[in-house]
Chains A and B, each alone.
Chain A
C-alpha cells in the first residue's frame, strides 16, 4: 500500500467525529455462492457527496441497493442515523427487522434509478404527490405545493399534467429526481442516472444534480461513469474493484492521481474517449 492510501484512512477516521449518517459495518453480500461484496465498511457524513466509480460488476449498485432495502446484506449491519436498517437489537441480540422498523429507517433514504422508473399511469404531478400524501401523510395541497417547487427546480414546472411517456428521457429523469426530492430524504442515492440517456440529454440531468449538490445539506451517494462530473461534485470518491473499496479519497487524489494500476487502467478508458 502506498502512503497516499494510508493518508486517506486517517482522513476517514477524522470524518467519524463529524455527524455520520450512513454507516456500513463489515457488510458482506453474496448472491448464492458468488460473493460480490466483502467486509465493506464505510461511513458517510451528513451532507457529504460520495461518488462510487469502478468497473462493471464491481458491486457499486449492490452497495446502494442494500441501503435502499432493495437487497439484503448477507452479513454485517448498515446504520442510518445511528439506527440499524436491517436489524433490531432485542436483549443484546440482533434480529431481522420487521417491515415497520425498516419503513421508519428507510424513510430517510431516497433513490433515483438508471431507468427513471416513473409510474406510467400517473401524471407528473401525481407521480410526485402520491407518496408524500400517503406515506408522509401531508395534505394534498401541501404535497402539490412541494411538488411544484421541486418540479420548478428541475425545470419542468410546466409539465405537471403530462404523462411520463410524453416526456424525453432527460425530462423523465429530472422528474424522477424531483419525485424523490419531494420526500425530503436525508440521503439520496443515484445509480448511473444518466446512463440510459442519449448523450445530448446527459448535460441537463447533471446540471440538476450539481444544483442539488450545491445546496449542500442533502447527503448524496452517486454511482457514475462521468469522471468530470464526479470530480466537480464529489467530496470523496470510492473506487470499487472486485467487491472491495480499492482506493478512496478526495477527487483530487483518486481521479487526478490514481495509485493502483487497476484504477489507472480504469480511468485511462475515460481519458481516451
Chain B
C-alpha cells in the first residue's frame, strides 16, 4: 500500500488548477455578494432588506449541489445564455457561500455599538463617511474570522464541481479510481486526495486562527 504515490499524486494534482480557480472565482464572487447583501440587510428601507433577505434565504435554503445542477443544466435550458461548466460551478459556489457570508457581514455591522454611529453623527459625518471611517473598519475586524472559516468551507465546497464533470482534483481522483480498482489503490488515491485538500486548507486554517486571536483582543489594539 501507498507505493504508487509517484503515479497517483501527480495525476490528482492535475486538477489542482481547476480546484484553485474554482475557489478563487467563488471567493471573489461570494465576498462581493456578501458585502452587498449583508449591508442591504441592515438597510432602513424595507424593500432593500426584503430583496436581500429573499436572495439569502433562497440560496441558503436550497442546497449547494442543487444550485450547481441548476446553473449547469437548467439555466442553459431556460435562458439563451449557456454558462460554461466552470462558470456554472463558480456561480453556484459564489452565490451559495456569498449568502452564508452575508450573514457574517450583517452580524458584524450590527455588532458595532450604536454609540459609534451616534458619535459619528455628532461629528456631522455623512452616511457614507460613517460607514467608511467608523462602522466598516470595526465591522471588518469582527467579520474576518468568520470570513476565514467561510473560505475553508468554500474550499471544501469546490469538490462538488465533480458532479458537473469539471476536472478538479476530486474528478481526477475518480478517473484514477476507475482505472485502479484494487481496494488498496482506491484507499491510496483518496488518502492522497484528502491530504492534498488538507494541505490547501492549512494556510486558511492558520490565517483564521490568527484573525480569531486578533479579534478576541478587541478592536482597539491595532
Contacts and interface: CB of A to CB of B under 8 A. Distances in A.
Say if the two chains contact directly (CB < 8 Å).
Answer: yes
Interface of A: 68-70, 99, 103, 106-107, 109-111, 113, 115, 117-121, 130-131, 134-135, 163-166, 176, 179-180, 183
A192 to B, nearest CB: 13
B118 A163 contact: no
A165 B123 CA distance: 21
Contacts of A183: 123-124
Nearest to A110: B122
B222 to A, nearest CB: 6
B125 interface: yes
A131 B123 contact: yes
Contacts of A117: 113, 115-116, 118-119
Nearest to B123: A131
A110 B120 CA distance: 10
A99 B127 contact: yes
A134 B129 contact: yes
B121 A163 contact: no
Contacts, number: 72
B45 to A, nearest CB: 14
A131 B124 contact: yes
A109 B138 contact: no
Nearest to A163: B220
A120 B123 contact: no
Q: Which of B218, B219, B220, B222 has the most CB of A within 10 A?
A: B220
A179 B115 contact: no
A69 to B, nearest CB: 6
A11 B57 CA distance: 62
B138 A120 contact: yes
B115 A135 contact: no
- Is chain A's interface secondary structure helix, strand, loop, or mixed overall? mixed
Contacts of B121: 68-70, 106
Interface of B: 113, 115-116, 118-127, 129, 133-134, 137-138, 141, 218-222
Contacts of A131: 120, 123-125
Given A113-B115, A134-B129, A134-B133, A120 B219 contact: yes
Contacts of A110: 122-123
Given A70-B118, A135-B129, A163-B222, A121 B124 contact: no
Nearest to A70: B118
B124 A135 contact: yes
Contacts of B137: 121
A153 B137 CA distance: 29
A135 B123 CA distance: 8
10 contacts: A68-B118, A69-B121, A117-B118, A120-B218, A120-B219, A121-B138, A121-B219, A135-B124, A135-B126, A164-B220
A165 B217 CA distance: 11
Given A117-B115, A165-B218, A109 B126 contact: no
A68 B218 CA distance: 29
Please list the 5 inter-chain residue pairs (A to B) with the smallest Cβ-Cβ separation, ordered nearest first: A131-B123, A165-B220, A117-B119, A120-B220, A111-B122
Contact of A113 (B119, B134, B138, B218): B119
B119 to A, nearest CB: 4
A130 B124 contact: no
B218 A134 contact: no
A103 B134 contact: no
Given A120-B138, A163-B220, 20 more contacts: A68-B122, A70-B122, A103-B124, A106-B121, A113-B119, A118-B119, A119-B138, A120-B218, A120-B220, A121-B220, A130-B123, A131-B123, A131-B124, A134-B125, A134-B129, A135-B123, A163-B221, A165-B218, A165-B220, A176-B119
